[in-house]
Chain A
Amino acid sequence: MNADLFIPRSLDEALSVVQTHGAGLLVMGGGTMMMAHINEGIFFPQKVMSLARAGLSGVYRNGHTQIGATTHLTDVSQIADYPILAEAAFQIGGPAIRNMGTIGGNLYMPQPAGDLAVPLLAYDAHVELASASASRTISLEDFLAEPRSHRGVHELLVAVHLPDPTGYAAYLKLGRREANTPSVVAVGVRVVMDKQGQISDARLALGAVGSFAFRAKNAEAALIGQSLNTKSIADAAQIAMEESNPFTDALATAWYRRRMVGVFVKRTLEQLAK
C-alpha cells in the first residue's frame, strides 16, 4: 500500500478528515476486507483513514445497549444479552479475523457478507451516523435499504443501538463449506410469545438472499397469533421463500438460495419451538 494514512484520535477529528478529503478517502474499520483488497490490488487508495484510534469502540448500557462502530467481532461475540448477535459474530472467520473485524465494517459489507445485519434486524437495531455538520439515528432496516449513493460520503457510522431484547431468538447460517465462507443464506428470528403460547410479535430477518439483508415482513405477519407448530412453521417458511429475492453467484444459484430460505427458516423456528 502506497497511500497517505490518517489515524484520527477522536470522532471529531475523524469527521473533519472525512470533510476535508471526501470521496478520495477510504475509511477503514478493522481492515479485514479493505486491507485484503488493497493487498490483492483490487483497491489502489491514495488516502486511507483508520478508525482504530478514534475512540469508537466499546459496549455500553444505559437504558438500551450501544455498540461502538469499531467494536471488534470478538467483543460482539461476548455480548450475552443478545445471544444470536453473539452467535453470528462468533461464526464469522477465525479468532484472528474476529480480533480485527468490526461491527461497523460488517454493516458496510456487500452481500453475501455482512452477516451481523441479520441478528441486528431481529433485535430492531438502529444505527447512529455522523458527519462534520450533522448526525442522525435511523433504523438499521432503513440504513440497509438506503442506496449507497445516498449515504453521504461525508458520513461515518458511529454506533449501533439496541433496545432491550424480548422473546426468544435463533440464528442459523448456511455456508458452502464450514470455514471462511460467505453465507448462502443467514436467518435470524425472534419471537415474543403471549401467555397462551401464541406469537405476539415476530422478527424474521434474511441475509444473502437479496441485495441487502431484510425483514421478511409477510412471514412475520403470518406468524402473529399462531403457536409454533408444524403448519405455522411450514407456512412461514413458504412465505419467506416467496419474499426473498435471491441472486446467483459463485456460491449458489438463486434457485438454491430460495430453497435454503425455506429450509433454514423452518430450522430456526423449529429450534424456537423446542
Chain B
Amino acid sequence: MSKLDITVNGQIHHLDVPESRTLAQVLRYDLGLTGTKIGCEEAECGICTVLVNGTPVNSCIFPAFKAQGREVETVEGLAHNGELHPIQQNFIEHGAVQCGFCTPGLMMTATALLNENPDPDDHAIKVALKDTYCRCTGYASVIAAIKSAASEMRGEGPLPVNEPDVSEPMHAISRSVPPQYVREKVTGAAKYTDDYFFEGMLFARTLRAAYPHARILSINTEKAKAFPGVVAVLTHADVPGDNLHGLVYRDWPVLCGDVVRYMGDAVAIVAAETEDIAAEALTLIEVEYEPLPVIGDPKFAHSPEAPVLHSKHPTGNLLKHIKVRHGDIEQGFAQADYIVEREYRTPTVEHAFLEPECSIGIPPGVAGHEKLTILVGSQIPYQDRNQIALAMGLPEEKVRVIGTLIGGGFGGKEDITGQIHVAMLAQATGRPVKMLYTRQESLIVHPKRHATIIRMKTGATKDGKLVAVEAELYGDGGAYASLSDKVMTRATTHATGPYVVPNAKIDCYAMYTNNPPSGAFRGFGVTQSAFAVESNMDILAEMIGIDPIEFRRINAQKVGTTTATGQVLRESVGLLETLRHVEHDMMPADGDFRWAWRDGHKAYAWGLACAYKNTGLGGGAPDRAEAEVEAFEDGSVEVRVASADMGQGLAHVVAQCTAEELKLPYHRVRVLLCDTDLTPNGGPTTASRQTFVSGNAARVTSALLREALTRSAAEFLDVPPETLYYEEGLLRHNGKSVELGTLVGWMKANGLSSKVRHEYHAPATQPLGTGGDMHFAFSYATQAALVEVDMETGAVKVLRIIAGTDIGRAINPLMLQGQVEGGIVMAMGNCLTESYIVENGVPWTNLLSRYKMPSIKHAPEIISHLIEDRVSTGPYGAKGVGEICSINTSPAICNAIYHATGVRIFSLPVDQDALLRAIRAGQTEVYTAWHDVR
C-alpha cells in the first residue's frame, strides 16, 4: 500500500491504495466515482479517458501513482451546481447518447479538445476522437454535438439540431424528446451493473476450457479452496438444479463436467474477497483433459468423419435444417434467360458492445432482498429468470432478476453468461457476489454473428423479371444452439431479398462446431443472406444489360405481392419509396449521373442494395408483452414493462406512447424496465420487436387507464364522459377541469384504482411452411454507397451513404436517425474491417485490439430519409427499426467496389491486399477475406 494524494474534480483525497492500482480502479472502486467506465483495459477503446492536469489519458492503463499530486477531472466534474456543461447539454440535444457507456469517455476527450481548440472542424474532431469508440451512434451526432458545444462555449449559441423530416407529428409521437436516463448518462450517475456495490460483496471469476474440444478426466479444486481469501470454488457437481441452459434448446452446461465443446466453456467458478485473489485461485484449479478432434468449420461438421458434438441431438451435428419451398424451381429456371450461381462467405462477427458482461447475485435475506436476486444488464430478464430457476432447482417465484442499464447489446446479451454462476455462488456463500468479465473473456465467451457459406443461384428473364432463386446456406452455429435455429431461419426466409420471386428452393444447414456459439446479432441472419442476394442482383443486372436500380424496381415487393414463404403483403411495403428517395439523392444537380469515375489513382463509384427485415418473432411464436401503467397523485404516470433498453431507446418509445394516450407532458412519464418482480413480462429485446410489441403494450394499456380515468373524472366533474378531453395533464370539459393528480387523489379516496395492467398480443403469425403470414410486418430499406478505392493500395473508403428506411412511423425521429447512423457504421465494419478469427476452435481474436471496428475516422457522410409507410397494427403505424438499417450496407459497398474497380468481392470483410492483387492481375473476382491473410 502507498499514499496517494490526488485532487479529483476539485476535491482533495488522501488515499492509501495498493501500488498496482490503475487510476480507473482508484476512481471507480476507491472513490466511488463510477462515471468513468472500463471497456477493455487494453488502451484500445478509449472510454476510460479522464483528464490529468488537463490532458486526456486512458485511466485503465494509467498507474495511479502517476496521478500523485495531480488534478484529475472526470465526467462527474463537468456539471456545476446541477447545471450541465455545454458538452453534456449538446450531447443530449443532438442525440449523441444511446447506451451511454462510451459517453463519459467521448465527453472527456472532447473537453480536452475544446480546451485547446475552441473551434474545431470535422477533421480536428475526428483526429482527436479517433481512439475513443462508440458502438451505438455512428458518430455523426457526436460530431454535431461537439461542434455545437464549441459554438456555445465561444458565446455564439448552440447549432441547430439536424432533425429528420417526419409527417403528422402528434402530441408526443413523432417528436424528438430526449431519451430516458439521458441526464444520468451524461453526468456519470447512470448505473450499469459493475457500478453497484454491496456490503460484504465477493468477486468471482470463471475457469474456462483449455481446449476447444476435450473430455474432462478430473477436476481438482482443493488447492484453490485452500488459498487464503477464497470463499467458494464450485464445479458441475455443485449445480443444484438442471446443469443445462439455453434459449431454444437446453444444451449448454452451466458448468462442464464430462466434456468441453469450446474455449469459452465454464469448468469451475471461484468467489473470493478480491478480484486478484479470485484470478489467482483459477490458476490453482487442476483439470485433466483428453483432447478430442476439433470441428472448425460447418461443412466439415456435416461430413461423416466429423465427431458428434451433442450425442442427444437427434440430427447429430446438424443443429437444424431449414427449408423454403415456393413454386416450382425447375420450371422457374427453365423460364430464365440468365442465370447466375455464386458462392459467398461471411465471417464470424463480434458485437463488441462496450460494456463487458457483468452479473451480481444476492442471496435471500441480504441487502434488503427477500429472494435470490440477480442484477444484470440483460436483454431478456424473464428468460434469464427461467433459466436461473431451472439451474438452481427453484421455482421461478423464488428468483428475481433486476435489469440494470445495458452498455450496448446488439443481440449479444441474450444468452446466459454469468447469471447462473453468481446465483450459485451467492447461494453457496451467503454473500453478494459480482462477476465482471474482462474484455478478453467477453470476446471468447458470448455468442456471435454466424459465419456463413452461401451458394446462391438466381435466374431472370431478358426483360428483367426474377423467376427463380435456389440457395444453400451453411451457418456456423458453434458449440451450442443459442438462437441459431431462429437466426438461420431468418437468413433462409429472407434469402430471396425484398423481391417477388415466384419459384424458390432454399436450404439452410445450421451446424454445431467447436467454435464459439453463434446467436443473435442485429440483422439476425439477414445481414449474411442479403450480401449474397444483392451481389447476385447486380451481377444479373449487368448480364441482362439493365440498370441495377431499374432491375430492383421491376422486382420490388409491393402491396399485393407474395413473399417466398407464401405471405401476401397487404400493407406497409415502402420499398419503392425508399428506392425513389435514394435514387433522387444519388443524382447530381446537373443530372449527369455516372456510376463510376476516375481521378488519378483514385477510383470512385456508387453501389446500391435493398433489404427487408421482419418485425417481431413471427413464425407462429406467440408474441406478446404486458404493461402496467399507474397514475399518481403528483400528476405523474409510471409505465412498467420488462423489456430491455440496450441503448436503442425502448424506454422513450414506451414513455411517448403513454404520454400520447394521456396527452401528458413527456417529462411526467416515468418508465420502469426490467424487473421480474415489478414489471410485467415484456419478452425478449430481439428481432426488432420492441417498438412494435412493447410500444403497443404501453399504448393499449395507457388507453385502458385513460378509460378508467375518464369514468372517474366524469363522476368527479359531474359531466358525461364522452365530453371529456385531455390536455397537458388536465382532464377538461368546457369550462370545467381537473388535474390528473387531483383526480387520482379522489380516486384513491374513493377506493378506485389508478393502475391498469394488460397483456398485448401481437397479430398471430404462422409457422414457416404453412404459407400463411409468417410475420406481421416488414421494414424496408435502400442504401447507396459512394466509395473511393485507391487503385495503388486497394484501400477502400466509404465517403457517403444515402439511406432510405421505411419504419412505418418515426416515433422519435432524432433517436431513430441515431439508430440508422449507428446501424450503418456498424455494417461498414461488417463489410470492411471486422472479422472474429477462430483457428481450429481457438479464437485468435481474444483481444479488443485484434478486432477492428470502425472509429470516428471512418464515419462517412450519412444522408438518411425516414419513410413512413404505416402498418395498421403497429403503434401509431410504427414497425421495427433496430436491424433494417444494418443489412444492406455491405452489399451496397461491395457493389460500389465492383463499379469502381471491376473486381467483385465474394468474401467479407473486404481484403485490400487481395483486392489489389486482383486489380494488378486483371482478375475480376476476390474469394479471400482479410482474415485469410494469416
Contact = CB atoms under 8 A, between A and B. Distances in A.
Interface stretch (B40-48, B142-150, B177-185): B40-48
Interface of A is mostly: loop
Nearest to A28: B63
Contacts of B113: 95
B128 interface: yes
B837 to A, nearest CB: 8
A77 to B, nearest CB: 11
Given A177-B852, A256-B916, A96 B58 contact: yes
A95 B916 contact: no
Contacts of B22: 1, 35, 39
Interface stretch (B49-57, B224-232, B464-472, B613-621): B49-57
Interface stretch (B129-137, B584-592, B651-659): B129-137
Nearest to A39: B41
A94 interface: yes
Nearest to A42: B847
A176 B797 CA distance: 11
Nearest to A93: B131
Contact of B933 (A31, A52, A250): A250
Interface stretch (A2-10, A208-216, A225-233): A2-10
Contacts of B58: 32, 96-97, 100
A180 B131 contact: yes
A65 B60 CA distance: 33
A234 to B, nearest CB: 13
A99 B50 CA distance: 12
B841 to A, nearest CB: 18
Contacts of A100: 43, 57-58, 61-62
B63 A50 contact: yes
B889 to A, nearest CB: 16
A260 B793 contact: yes
A180 B44 contact: yes
A41 B63 contact: no
Contacts of A99: 52, 55-57
A179 B56 contact: no
Contacts of A180: 44, 130-131, 849, 852, 855
A52 B19 CA distance: 14
Interface in A74-112: 74, 93-97, 99-100
Given A96-B49, A178-B855, A259-B916, A250 B43 contact: no
Nearest to A48: B20
B694 interface: no
Nearest to A5: B19
B440 A252 contact: no
Interface string A168-195: 0000001011111100000000000000
B44 A95 contact: no
A253 interface: yes
B43 A95 contact: no
B570 interface: no
B933 A96 contact: no
Given A94-B109, A97-B43, A177-B858, A253 B57 contact: no
Interface in B13-59: 19-20, 22, 41-44, 46, 49, 52, 55-58
A248 interface: yes
Interface residues of A, number: 42
A206 B36 CA distance: 39
A253 B61 contact: no
B509 interface: no
A263 interface: yes
Contacts of B792: 263
A256 B916 CA distance: 8
A25 B384 CA distance: 46
A145 interface: no
Contacts of A2: 20, 276, 280
Given A39-B41, A40-B847, A94 B934 contact: no
A8 to B, nearest CB: 12
Contacts of A32: 43, 58, 61
Contact of A1 (B20, B130, B280, B934): B20
A94 B131 contact: yes
A95 B858 contact: no
Interface string A226-270: 000000000000000000000011111101100110010000000
Contact of A95 (B128, B793, B856): B128
A2 to B, nearest CB: 5
Contacts of A7: 65
Interface in A136-189: 174, 176-181
A249 B931 CA distance: 10
A174 B790 CA distance: 12
A36 interface: yes
Interface string B804-835: 00000000000000000000000000001100
B41 A178 contact: no
B850 interface: yes
A41 B933 CA distance: 26
A35 B46 contact: no
B397 interface: no
Given A7-B65, A94-B109, A263-B793, A179 B131 contact: yes
Interface string B849-873: 1101011111000000000000000
Contacts of B132: 94, 96
A5 B65 contact: yes
B131 A3 contact: no
A3 B130 contact: no
A178 B857 contact: yes
Contact of B440 (A35, A40, A176, A181): A40
A189 to B, nearest CB: 18
Contact of B917 (A31, A248, A255): A255
Nearest to B850: A250
Nearest to B794: A256
B63 A31 contact: yes
Contacts of B856: 179
A187 to B, nearest CB: 13
Contacts of A176: 833, 852, 912
A99 B852 CA distance: 23
Interface in B70-118: 109, 112-113
A36 B39 CA distance: 12
B313 interface: no
B547 interface: no
B130 A179 contact: yes
A40 B46 contact: no
B154 to A, nearest CB: 21
Nearest to B43: A36
A94 B65 contact: no
28 contacts: A2-B20, A3-B20, A5-B65, A31-B63, A35-B22, A39-B22, A39-B41, A39-B438, A41-B438, A50-B63, A93-B131, A94-B56, A95-B56, A95-B109, A95-B112, A96-B49, A96-B131, A100-B58, A100-B61, A100-B62, A177-B857, A178-B858, A179-B131, A179-B855, A180-B44, A180-B849, A252-B913, A256-B912
Given A36-B42, A179-B130, A180-B130, 17 more contacts: A4-B19, A31-B62, A32-B61, A36-B44, A39-B61, A39-B438, A40-B847, A50-B66, A94-B128, A94-B131, A95-B112, A96-B58, A100-B57, A100-B58, A177-B832, A252-B933, A255-B917
Nearest first, the 8 closest Cβ-Cβ pairs linking A and B are A94-B131, A35-B61, A179-B855, A39-B41, A178-B857, A179-B130, A5-B19, A256-B913
